[in-house]
Homo-oligomer: A and B are copies of this chain.
Amino acid sequence: MKVKINNKVENYRSVWFESASGIIKAINQNKLPREFEIIELKTYTETANAIKIMTIRGAPAIGVTAGFGIAQACMQVPKQNFIHYLEKAADILKSTRPTAVDLFYVIDRILNKIKDTDNAAEDNEKATEISISEAQKIGYETVDACKKIGEFGNEVLKNNSKILTHCNAGALACVDFGTALSPIRIAKYTGKEIFVFVDETRPRLQGAKLTAWELLNEGIEHRIIADNATGYFMQKGEIDLCIVGADRIALNGDVANKIGTYEKAVLAKENNIPFYVAAPLSTIDFNIKVGGEIPIEERSEDEVLIVNDKRIAPIGSHALNPAFDVTPAKYITGIITEIGILKPDEIYKLKK
């Protein structure tokens, strides 16, 4: 992704792994847009914590980071009884966030690769080698999938399209390109003018903080709106289509994504506005039939009650803070993946 630093444009990924030193480097998403900081994560427990406190966030980025975390664990857990300790480390990484499936997908994929390779489960050096190679591969696959999502998604965008997006499903959330923001980037690169309504996405404000920052860096026109104003602009005919990301997709095409996604989808349907979900196939959970089975993370009430270090609510009042919701398949026009735009009712066919 493009990042403007002191009027110079540089290219960054949201997270990467320096295999030789075993250090994960990542853009600190909790400090944006105020400060552009690259953090270093040296141990798998530091990595787990960075996922938990959302220094690194976004379903695909969480997955890739956890993959790098497994590689760190291979280097760091005791050599005696290696696979036992590696699985304990994997559990720590898995326990950080419950909703995004990429986390579990990536960790299991690497663990299985180790277990399926002769002697690797007993040989920490061999396991390290496998995990580094597989984690880096997943990183490249993610970038590649996101780029393809952008190319397929670009086909539904016209010159001067006005698009609503929710939360940040951008390069920050996905190593590069993004899911929902990838079609917008590719459209811009292919010469289309695009206008983006960025809803601020309370409580953590990933829209106002992260999506706006990405669009600004790419020179894409946008305006931030309160989450409450989405319906107003839809009703006025100012939004042509919606594109959001996904944290987990069920076999029936139901989609779990950032809290508020369901609201935008209902409003889009009511106003006859196409509603697209953009996600790599790794976001599909083939073990889950319907959205209702997807676990929804409850985060701290302080995310609602405290903004910019100051409490907004009276002392004595409490908040409820579900971090995700489920948008039923019937509200979704199409799911933009790296293999093309699928109808939600085509998802189950991918189970093989």
Contact A224 B262 (CB under 8 A): no
A231 interface hit (Cβ, 8 Å): yes
Within residues 194 to 243 of chain A, which ones have a CB less than 8 A from any CB in chain B? Answer: 198, 200-203, 205, 208-209, 212-213, 215-216, 222-233, 235
A274 interface hit (Cβ, 8 Å): no
Number of chain A interface residues as a range? 35 or more
For the complex, what is the distance from the CA of A321 to the CA of B320, rounded to whole Å? Answer: 26
Contact B319 A224 (CB under 8 A): yes
A263 interface hit (Cβ, 8 Å): yes
A312 interface hit (Cβ, 8 Å): yes
A313 interface hit (Cβ, 8 Å): yes
For the complex, what is the distance from the CA of A313 to the CA of B214, rounded to whole Å? Answer: 11
A325 interface hit (Cβ, 8 Å): yes
A316 contacts across to B, CB distance below 8 A: 216
A319 contacts across to B, CB distance below 8 A: 223-225
For the complex, what is the distance from the CA of A222 to the CA of B258, rounded to whole Å? Answer: 23
Contact A212 B313 (CB under 8 A): yes
Within residues 306 to 339 of chain A, which ones have a CB less than 8 A from any CB in chain B? Answer: 307-310, 312-322, 325-326
A175 interface hit (Cβ, 8 Å): no
Contact of A231 among B203, B226, B266, B318 (CB under 8 A): B266
For the complex, what is the distance from the CA of A305 to the CA of B319, rounded to whole Å? Answer: 23
A281 interface hit (Cβ, 8 Å): no
A270 interface hit (Cβ, 8 Å): yes
Residues A263 and B267 in contact in the complex (CB < 8 Å), given A232-B325, A316-B216, A322-B229:
yes
Contact of A226 among B270, B304, B315 (CB under 8 A): B304
Chain B: minimal CB distance from A294 (Å): 12
A209 contacts across to B, CB distance below 8 A: 312-314
A150 interface hit (Cβ, 8 Å): no
Q: Which residues of A contact B (CB under 8 A)?
A: 32-33, 198, 200-203, 205, 208-209, 212-213, 215-216, 222-233, 235, 258-260, 262-263, 266-267, 270, 304-305, 307-310, 312-322, 325-326
Q: A212-B314, A228-B263, A266-B270 are in contact. List 19 more A-B contacts (CB 8 A).
A: A200-B312, A203-B228, A208-B304, A209-B312, A209-B313, A212-B313, A222-B317, A224-B304, A225-B304, A226-B304, A227-B227, A231-B262, A231-B266, A232-B262, A232-B325, A235-B262, A235-B325, A270-B270, A307-B308
